[in-house]
Amino acid sequence: MKWNQSDTAGWRQYQQKLQRKTRRRLLHKRLPLLLAVAGTAFALTLFLFFAGARVYSYWRAPRPVTPPVQSPPKPSAPIISQQDLTAFLTAAAGDLNQLSDQYAVNRNGAAYTVRTSLDTDLQKYILRLLGRARTLQSAVLVLNPHDGRVLAMASRDAQGSTGNLCLKANYPAASLFKIVSAAAVLEAAGYYPDKPVSFKGGKHTLYKYQLKPSGGKYTSRTKFRNAFASSNNAVFGKLGIFDLGHNVLADYADKFLFNRHIAYDLPVAVSKIEIPTDDFGLAEIASGFNKKTLISPLHAVLLATVPVNGGNMPAPWLVDTILDKTGTVLYHVGRKILASPVSNKTAAQLKALMNDVVRYGTARKFYRRLRRKKQFTRFSLGAKTGTINDSRDNFKYDWITAYALPPRGGDAICVGVLGVHGKILGIRSAEIARAVISYYFAHKKS
């Protein structure tokens, strides 16, 4: 059988026609599904379009601002100033000797916790000392010379009168004022510790013949540091007349806070001084050989802070913090410098002079036992003593202001002690100061 070309072409056309019919049948079957998909897509597109328009319009439309809900205001905590501290301290204890390092106070219906700088054990030890001192009156104040915190403040009156004697300025300063005179002559008159000086007569008297210019057969010569250590009235009397004068003495008395208010947590009486213009009056003031220059034990101990604190006198403080019942701090001490009477150089010279008082001066015999203790061999110990009778010679006022500095720069202390003796001479102030220093460093809490 013969196969020709025309049959082939017809067969191909026939196959193509069958394929077209098959595609049309499939399209007819799928058309409803395709239309449904297309409709759904179109509807979704319309929905998204209109929904987006509404969201856009919502965010662009202005809306009223709702004010935030405010809680009712809390009452502000009372601010306690230094002027308020006296009430807190006296509310805690009518007798200030009984203050402790922490106690509770109720004032105006509110409860407070008061924390102080007191070393309670040291305070109790000092009160026991004063109880057997056999003095008519006595007072001891201990503080840190670098930050001014008061570690102990105790006093005793044999007559039982109230009020802490540390804050009263009823007592002649005596030779404690030689610290001020020495500072003035070192800084304003160009003196130095080893400068030669001369005097006539005894060291502890002050007569007009002793105040004449140096010279003559009975003139004694010494060094300025020896005159300070032995509390030589004749030398300091001449310094007041020939080297200082009224204006310089008045200036340095002011720098050391005489006739000025001393800021403290309790009221402190003002230390009084009157600088005369006559020669003998100047000699009396400069040497401390007068009964009108008055000082408080608190002020006395502040004099000893200047040499060991680089010429600065820190503001003393007793209250560290006051808290309410929730623990909120309502008061916290602000440490500051009360005065800067002298330069750093002058302070170092004063420190050397006060060291000599302990080494071979008026406090030597009282400190001998302390200096022999191994613990104190490397301590820097210094002091200035003072003794004078009242105008009727009924009482003897016995002073010391001292410092004790550990060798490695630990907690230093300054100690001021006043003893008022009657017919019976009780324990001397220098002896009490030595005992306080010994006890403090033996029991110091690290």
Tell me how far apart the alpha carbons of residues 123 and 126 are, in angstroms, rounded to a whole number: 5
The runs of H, that is alpha helices, within 93-200 are 120-131, 178-188
> CATH number for the 102-443 domain, one of 3.40.1710.10, 3.30.365.10, 3.40.50.9100, 3.40.710.10?
3.40.710.10
400-406-409-410 Cα dihedral, nearest 10 degrees: -90
Q: What are phi and psi for residue 164, nearest 5 degrees?
A: -80, 120
Query: 37: burial class by Cβ within 10 Å (0-12, 13-18, 19+)?
Result: exposed
The runs of H, that is alpha helices, within 336-386 are 344-359, 364-372
What pLDDT, on a 0 to 100 scale, did the predictor assign at position 89?
86
- CA dist 70 to 75, 281, 354, Å? 15, 72, 65
Beta carbons of 272 and 261 less than 8 angstroms apart: no
Q: What are phi and psi for residue 96, nearest 5 degrees?
A: -65, -20
Domain parsing of the chain, residue ranges: 102-443
Beta carbons of 177 and 288 less than 8 angstroms apart: yes
Beta carbons of 231 and 202 less than 8 angstroms apart: no
Tell me how far apart the alpha carbons of residues 50 and 31 are, in angstroms, rounded to a whole number: 29
What pLDDT, on a 0 to 100 scale, did the predictor assign at position 365?
95
Tell me how far apart the alpha carbons of residues 233 and 237 are, in angstroms, rounded to a whole number: 6
DSSP-derived 3-state class of residue 406:
coil
DSSP-derived 3-state class of residue 364:
helix
Band the pLDDT of 109: cuts 50, 70, 90.
Answer: confident
Tell me how far apart the alpha carbons of residues 363 and 400 are, in angstroms, rounded to a whole number: 9
Each residue's pLDDT tens digit, 288-313: 999 999 999 999 999 999 999 999 99
Q: What are phi and psi for residue 317, nearest 5 degrees?
A: -150, 150
pLDDT at 353 over 50: yes
Tell me how far apart the alpha carbons of residues 433 and 122 are, in angstroms, rounded to a whole number: 12
Residue of 243, 237, 232 whose CA lies nearest to 209: 237
Tell me how far apart the alpha carbons of residues 7 and 19 are, in angstroms, rounded to a whole number: 19
Tell me how far apart the alpha carbons of residues 241 and 248 are, in angstroms, rounded to a whole number: 11
Tell me how far apart the alpha carbons of residues 15 and 149 are, in angstroms, rounded to a whole number: 117
Q: What percent of the chain has pLDDT over 70?
A: 84
What pLDDT, on a 0 to 100 scale, did the predictor assign at position 5?
47
What pLDDT, on a 0 to 100 scale, did the predictor assign at position 216?
75
Band the pLDDT of 76: cuts 50, 70, 90.
Answer: very low
Give the tokens for residue 115.
Answer: 């924390």
What pLDDT, on a 0 to 100 scale, did the predictor assign at position 430?
97
Band the pLDDT of 74: cuts 50, 70, 90.
Answer: very low
Average pLDDT over residues 364-368: 94
Residue of 45, 85, 140, 43 whose CA lies nearest to 317: 85
Tell me how far apart the alpha carbons of residues 339 and 255 are, in angstroms, rounded to a whole number: 7
Tell me how far apart the alpha carbons of residues 415 and 412 are, in angstroms, rounded to a whole number: 10
Residue of 401, 394, 199 whose CA lies nearest to 295: 401
Quickly count: other Cβ atoms within 10 Å of residue 368's Cβ. 11
Band the pLDDT of 1: cuts 50, 70, 90.
Answer: very low
Bridge-partner residues for 382, per DSSP?
403
Tell me how far apart the alpha carbons of residues 173 and 298 are, in angstroms, rounded to a whole number: 12
- Where is 202: in which H helix or E strand? none
Each residue's pLDDT tens digit, 402-429: 999 999 877 899 999 999 999 889 999 9
What pLDDT, on a 0 to 100 scale, did the predictor assign at position 431?
97
Greater confidence, 311 or 17?
311
Band the pLDDT of 84: cuts 50, 70, 90.
Answer: confident
What pLDDT, on a 0 to 100 scale, did the predictor assign at position 137?
96
Tell me how far apart the alpha carbons of residues 126 and 233 are, in angstroms, rounded to a whole number: 32
Segment among 134-148, 206-220, 251-265 with least mean pLDDT = 206-220
> Max Cα separation, the chain?
178
- Where is 285: in which H helix or E strand? helix 279-287
Q: Which residues contact 430 (CB under 8 A, 6 or more apart)?
A: 362, 363, 366, 367, 383, 385, 400, 402, 417
Residue of 196, 327, 336 whose CA lies nearest to 262: 336
Segment among 157-166, 168-177, 362-371, 378-387 with least mean pLDDT = 157-166
Average pLDDT over the chain reads: 88
What pLDDT, on a 0 to 100 scale, did the predictor assign at position 56?
53
